[in-house]
């Protein structure tokens, strides 16, 4: 009976939301760790607070890690895996090499959780909660994070190179790549404020590891990114594509003048992105160390 009900529920959802084959939160629950690790979110928030106080950029770094994790075969913590002599992860894929950072923050949370409730909380869930807390700590919205993801035992550098939108992408390409993950054009527009990071000063040679913010308020979560687009000050080609006489102009203009609307839609899109193809049940594993498979 239970399996029949579950089947009917999934069928109903699939009939309502297009492309939901890419997302699945039926087995995720905000209370997943209520008894097995009740202090999980308190520990994660504590470590994120330390990290953001130490370097506010850590909030955006964790957000970007979460985005790059979810866009490559789902939100499964694969982006956190290190390369080894026998394993190729995603950290050296083009979109991540010399720009993905914040791994030590996830390590710190995981270390404390292993001491509090070992082999219980997945690295994928740690990343999802840390991303939410980083936004809130910079003055942005908060949201309830569905939990119960498990960690991948594999990674795909080739998928990271092909599935993460690049800074030179056209609007049509951006919409198509987000749609492939079950996300709408509006989701794409509201999430684009953190999806990419630009190089700073662009020296003729060197400086490849240097980073700079996408807007003038890198230490505060606000809607200035969209104000810049309306003023034709997008720093990346893919940024200004969002406001360039196309289908997203009205959405960008709306977010540029209504920060509450932006915050609300951003929170909703983050939940939706966090539901992309999670590993649940007995799939995957609960890593003891987020950088290596067990």
Catalytic residue numbers read: 68
Contact (Cβ atoms closer than 8 angstroms) between residue 51 and residue 63: no
Residues near 34 by beta carbon (within 8 Å), at least 6 away in sequence: none
Query: Sign of the C-alpha dihedral, residues 255, 261, 267, 268?
Result: negative
Phi, psi (degrees; rounded to nearest 5) at 89: -95, -155
How far apart, in whole angstroms, are the C-alpha atoms of residue 54 and residue 77? 24
As beta bridge partners, residue 279 has: 150
How far apart, in whole angstroms, are the C-alpha atoms of residue 155 and residue 280? 17
How far apart, in whole angstroms, are the C-alpha atoms of residue 81 and residue 167? 24
Contact (Cβ atoms closer than 8 angstroms) between residue 252 and residue 242: yes
* Angle of CA points 45, 193, 264, to nearest 5°: 65
CA end-to-end span of the chain? 36
As beta bridge partners, residue 150 has: 279
């Amino acid at each position: 009976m239970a399996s029949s009900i579950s089947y009917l529920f999934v069928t109903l959802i699939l009939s309502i939301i297009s492309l939901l084959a890419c997302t699945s939160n039926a087995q995720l629950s905000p209370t997943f760790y209520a008894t097995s690790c009740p202090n999980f979110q308190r520990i994660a928030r504590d470590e994120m607070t330390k990290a953001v106080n130490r370097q506010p950029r850590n909030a955006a770094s964790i957000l970007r890690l979460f985005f790059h994790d979810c866009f490559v075969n789902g939100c499964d913590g694969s982006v956190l895996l290190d390369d080894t002599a026998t394993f190729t992860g995603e950290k050296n894929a083009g979109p991540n090499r010399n720009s993905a950072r914040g791994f030590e923050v996830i390590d710190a949370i995981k270390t404390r959780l292993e001491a509090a409730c070992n082999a219980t909380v997945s690295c994928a869930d740690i990343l999802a909660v840390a991303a939410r807390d980083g936004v809130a700590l910079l003055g942005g919205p908060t949201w309830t994070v569905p939990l119960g993801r498990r960690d991948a035992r594999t990674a795909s550098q080739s998928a990271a190179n092909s599935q993460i939108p690049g800074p030179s992408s056209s609007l049509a390409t951006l919409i198509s790549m987000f749609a492939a993950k079950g996300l709408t054009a509006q989701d794409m527009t509201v999430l684009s404020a953190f999806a990419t990071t630009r190089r700073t000063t662009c020296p003729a040679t060197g400086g490849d590891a240097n980073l700079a913010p996408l807007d003038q308020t890198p230490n505060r979560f606000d809607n200035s990114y969209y104000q810049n687009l309306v003023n034709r000050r997008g720093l990346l080609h893919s940024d200004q594509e969002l406001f360039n006489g196309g289908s997203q102009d009205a959405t960008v203009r709306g977010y540029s003048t209504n920060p509450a609307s932006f915050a609300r839609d951003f929170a909703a899109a983050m939940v939706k992105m966090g539901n992309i193809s999670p590993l649940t049940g007995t799939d995957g594993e609960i890593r003891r160390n987020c950088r290596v498979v067990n």
